Amino acid sequence: LEWCVSVPKVELHAHLNGSVRNSTLFELARVLGDKGVIVFSEVENVIMKDDRTLHEVFKLFDLIHILTTDHSTVTRITKEVIEDFAAENVVYLELRTTPKRNDSIGMSKRSYMDAVMEGLRAVSSVDVDYCPAGLKTNTFNGSTRKKMYVRFLLSIDRRESTEAAMETVKLALEMRDLGVVGIDLSGNPIVGNWSTFLPALKFAKEQGLYITLHCGEVPNQDEIKAMIDFLPHRIGHACCFDEENWRKLKSAKIPVEICLTSNIRTETISSIDIHHFVDLYKAKHPLVLCTDDSGVFSTSLSREYNLASSSFGLGKTEMFRLAEIAINFIFADEGVKADLRATFEEAVKKLN
């Protein structure tokens, strides 16, 4: 595991509210428990539960959202999550989150995102570059401190309407200068229809935003087919594909964000030895190891690398290559990619 921690890594599939430290969730639950908003012991049981079906995971998210959704807490968790990724040598992070509107506390999707941005600016353990090249300052200039790139993806929740999805896309366009690079479609896969989100996703793509979709978490082959036909820039999971869709995915060469622990813990994949990572890896299909929800699934990106290495018999050279190749699939420009490649070149000298 130590070696996996020391390798520079790229994280492309991490949900903000799924990556919150348990200690922070407990602290927040205690405060709300004292106020009588929730019953602490009940919440504690839910947070500590180890194995959850995909359905139960979404119930947990509703609970986490009760704990985290006010501006100052959103700021706090953003800072902590970024610092946690930095601490395990993530050199490029695409953090995704669903902008939330909550009229009762005066929260709009924009003010939610402003709170996220404030958390990013509060990060103190590393130098963070969050602006696309050519815009604003380069925080890295002259600094010898540890550095990290952070970009944001705004998630559309499958519970949302076409209008709400469109609002999220417009917000992403508005916040491009602040490091928002794309759109994610996530949320409970048995809720909502592809046709509801398609207009907003189409518009986003036309406007040059990058798109990644949660695809194939349940065996809805019609939806999987429609999603692949849309040609997103990446997809997450790709667990329940039939043969025809699998062939389509491979020939379209759409990069896949692989979340091993998440798939096993939610029972989307019954056992690690039959995980589709193996097939994609052997076929040299573009893929990237990711955490999904490091808090909810008690994992870290280093652990995911370690798990892949031990489960699929990959040595250090292959694992390093896997970490490095992820640079090709990031939603950033060539300048950032070149800088990251240099970071990996430096690292390989030190690790050997």
- Distance of CA 128 to CAs 8, 131, 247, Å? 15, 9, 39
What ranges in the chain are assigned the alpha helix state H? 2-6, 22-34, 40-48, 54-68, 71-87, 109-121, 162-174, 194-206, 221-229, 243-252, 260-265, 277-282, 301-312, 316-325, 334-351
DSSP label at residue 39:
-
Shortest distance (Å) from residue 221 CB to ligand 5GP: 17
Nearer to ligand 5GP, 179 or 189 (CB): 189
Q: Give the residue numbers marked as catalytic.
A: 217
283, 250 contact by CB (below 8 A) = yes
Q: Please spell the DSSP secondary structure of 117-160, one letter per residue.
A: HHHHHT--SSEEE-S-TTSS--TTTT--S-EEEEEEEEEEETTS
Q: Would you tell me which residues interact with ligand 5GP (CB under 6 A)?
A: 15-18, 61, 97-98, 155, 157, 186-187, 189, 214, 217, 262, 292-293
Nearer to ligand 5GP, 155 or 309 (CB): 155
User: If 0-12 CB within 10 Å is exposed, 13-18 middle and 19+ buried, where does residue 213 land?
Assistant: buried
Nearer to ligand 5GP, 131 or 264 (CB): 264
Nearer to ligand 5GP, 294 or 343 (CB): 294
Nearer to ligand 5GP, 16 or 117 (CB): 16
Residue type, 5: V
119, 76 contact by CB (below 8 A) = yes
Shortest distance (Å) from residue 312 CB to ligand 5GP: 21
Shortest distance (Å) from residue 20 CB to ligand 5GP: 9
Shortest distance (Å) from residue 54 CB to ligand 5GP: 7
- Distance of CA 202 to CAs 44, 145, 151, 183, Å? 41, 40, 21, 11
Residues 6+ apart with CB under 8 A from 149: 91, 92, 93, 128, 129, 130, 332, 336, 340
Nearer to ligand 5GP, 157 or 304 (CB): 157
Shortest distance (Å) from residue 188 CB to ligand 5GP: 6
Distance of CA 223 to the CA centre of its chain: 21
Dist. CA 25–CA 348, nearest whole Å: 37
Shortest distance (Å) from residue 335 CB to ligand 5GP: 28
